[in-house]
Structure 1
Amino acid sequence: MTNKLLNIVLADDDEDDRMLFKEAIDEINIRTKLSIFNHGQQLMDYLTLPNIILPNLIFLDLNMPIKNGTQCLIEIRSNPMLQDLCVAIYSTSSSERDIEETFLNGANIYVNKPTNFSKLREVVEKVLQLNWQYHTSNLNKDTFLFRI
Structure 2
Amino acid sequence: MKHKLSCLLIDDDRDDQEIFKLALQDVNEEVYCLTADDGIKGLQMLQTEENFVPSFIFLDLNMPRMTGKDCLTAIKSNPMLASIPVVIYSTSSDPKDIQDTKELGATDYVVKQYSIASLKEILKRYFN
- TM category (shorter chain) comes to over 0.9
Q: Does the aligned pair in 1 maintain the 2:57–2:85 contact within 8 Å?
A: yes
- 1:73 pairs with 2:66: no
Structure 2 equivalent of residue 62 of structure 1: 61
Structure 1 equivalent of residue 33 of structure 2: 34
Q: CA 1:29 to 1:47, structure 2 compared with 1: closer, same or farther past 3 Å?
A: closer
> 1:13-24 to 2 correspondence within 5 Å?
13-24=12-23
What are the Cα deviations for residues 54-102 of structure 1, in whole angstroms up to 9, with x where unaligned? 1110000011111111111100111111111110000110001100100
Q: Which runs of 4+ in 1 moved over 3 A?
A: none
Query: What amino acid is the match of 1:111?
Result: V
Structure 2 equivalent of residue 82 of structure 1: 81
Structure 1 equivalent of residue 100 of structure 2: 101
> 1:137-148 to 2 correspondence within 5 Å?
none
Structure 2 equivalent of residue 139 of structure 1: none
Structure 2 equivalent of residue 140 of structure 1: none
**What TM-score comes out, normalization by structure 2 length?**
0.92
> 1:37-48 to 2 correspondence within 5 Å?
37-48=36-47
Cα RMSD (Å): 1.3
Runs of 5+ in structure 1 lacking a partner?
A: 130-148
Deviation at 1:52, TM superposition (A): 3.5
Query: What amino acid is the match of 1:8?
Result: C
Query: What amino acid is the match of 2:57?
Result: I
Rounded to whole Å, the distance in 2 between the matches of 1:99 and 1:42 is: 23
Rounded to whole Å, the distance in 2 between the matches of 1:75 and 1:81 is: 11
> Relative contact order (alpha carbons < 8 A, sep ≥ 6): 1 or 2 greater?
2
3-state SS, counterpart of residue 73 of structure 1: helix
3-state SS, counterpart of residue 58 of structure 1: strand
Rounded to whole Å, the distance in 2 between the matches of 1:86 and 1:30 is: 20
Rounded to whole Å, the distance in 2 between the matches of 1:25 and 1:13 is: 18
Runs of 5+ in structure 2 lacking a partner?
A: none
3-state SS, counterpart of residue 48 of structure 2: coil
Structure 2 equivalent of residue 5 of structure 1: 4
Structure having the higher Rg: 1
Rounded to whole Å, the distance in 2 between the matches of 1:16 and 1:32 is: 19
Rounded to whole Å, the distance in 2 between the matches of 1:67 and 1:88 is: 17
Taking only the aligned residue pairs, the percentage that are identical comes to 38
> 1:112-127 to 2 correspondence within 5 Å?
112-127=111-126
Structure 2 equivalent of residue 132 of structure 1: none
